[in-house]
Amino acid sequence: MKSLPAVLLGILGGLALAGAIFVVVRLPAGRPITLEPAPTEQPIAVHVVGAVPRPGLYELPAGSRVQDAINAAGGLLVDVDVSALNLARRLQDGEQLAVGQPGANTAVSVEGSGAATAGGTVTAPTPAVPGNLVDINTASVAELDALPGIGPTAAQAILDYRDLHGPFTVIEELLNVPGIGPTTFNAMRALITV
């Protein structure tokens, strides 16, 4: 009878070994699971000009809309008519967004998209009401500072130039003011008068 417990112990040991082999063989084979970062889209660059407090170049997430670009540029200036703007339109990388002024024919132009004028340049909106124009011969620093591309320093430079040389005879004389280049001048040309 001593041999019966040894036989049973041998059978149980054999079953345990067979179970262990079965478990090891049944483990899944293949590559381990690795977590990779979620794919991110590259931001788009949009140049916002016109009736916004901070015109300039803004990087926005892909799929952004016109309203997002206006918000990035500080919103709209007071009394801006946006009825001609499609605020829900998706923006494209490299686009220039021209936002109109109060009483202006609001225009949105995209360089190279057919919405731009000949030569790929953007034309400024034409004011419908002459009373909305800023007279550069009588405007204060605050009024000049509200123009696109003009900050407090450039506004003061305009006043200094006006004091030194007398009143402007044509708006193009602004190009003689230090710090006012063609880009800045074109951004505000439809908003000013003499």
Q: Are residues 100 and 161 in the same domain?
A: no
Q: Are residues 117 and 160 in the same domain?
A: no
Q: Are residues 120 and 144 in the same domain?
A: no
Q: Are residues 98 and 71 in the same domain?
A: yes
Place 1 in a pLDDT band, splitting at 50, 70 and 90.
low
Parent domain of 166: 133-194
| 131-144 pLDDT per residue, tens | 468 888 888 888 88
Domains of the chain: total = 2
What separation in angstroms does the CA of 163 have from each of 144, 151, 167?
Answer: 15, 18, 8
Final residue in a domain of this structure, among 106, 128, 150: 128
Tokens 């696109």 correspond to: 148
Q: Are residues 100 and 170 in the same domain?
A: no
Lowest-confidence segment of 53-67, 87-101, 149-163 by average pLDDT: 87-101
Q: Are residues 45 and 110 in the same domain?
A: yes
Final residue in a domain of this structure, among 128, 152, 184: 128
Distance (Å, whole) CA 72 – CA 60: 8
Q: Is residue 112 part of a domain?
A: yes
Q: Is residue 30 part of a domain?
A: no
Domain CATH number, residue 187: 1.10.150.320
Q: Are residues 55 and 119 in the same domain?
A: yes
Q: Is residue 174 part of a domain?
A: yes
Q: Is residue 5 part of a domain?
A: no
Contact between residue 57 and residue 46 where contact means Cβ atoms under 8 Å apart = yes
Q: Are residues 113 and 162 in the same domain?
A: no
Q: Please list, residue by residue across 131-143, b when 16 or more beta carbons sit within 10 angstroms of its beta carbon and e when fewer do.
A: eebbebeebeeee
Q: Looking at the predicted structure, is the pLDDT value of residue 97 above 80?
A: yes
For the entire predicted model, the pTM comes to 0.38
Q: Are residues 101 and 62 in the same domain?
A: yes
Q: Are residues 117 and 50 in the same domain?
A: yes
Distance (Å, whole) CA 171 – CA 153: 19
Q: Is residue 154 part of a domain?
A: yes
| pLDDT confidence of residue 2 | 62
Q: Is residue 35 part of a domain?
A: no
Q: Are residues 122 and 70 in the same domain?
A: yes
Final residue in a domain of this structure, among 128, 145, 162: 128
Of 11 and 114, which is predicted with more confidence? 11
Q: Looking at the predicted structure, is the pLDDT value of residue 32 above 80?
A: no
Report which residue type is found at 100. G
Q: Is residue 186 part of a domain?
A: yes
Q: What percentage of the chain reaches a pLDDT higher than 90?
A: 11
| 145-193 pLDDT per residue, tens | 888 888 888 889 899 998 888 888 888 888 888 888 888 888 888 888 8
- Assign 3-class secondary structure to 98-149: EECCCCECCCCCCCCCCCCCHHHCCCCCCECCHHHCEECCCCCHHHHHCCCC
Q: Are residues 82 and 156 in the same domain?
A: no
Q: Looking at the predicted structure, is the pLDDT value of residue 28 above 60?
A: yes
Q: Looking at the predicted structure, is the pLDDT value of residue 42 above 50?
A: yes
Distance (Å, whole) CA 69 – CA 73: 6
In 3D space, the residue among 129, 124, 123, 57 whose CA is nearest the CA of residue 93 turns out to be: 57
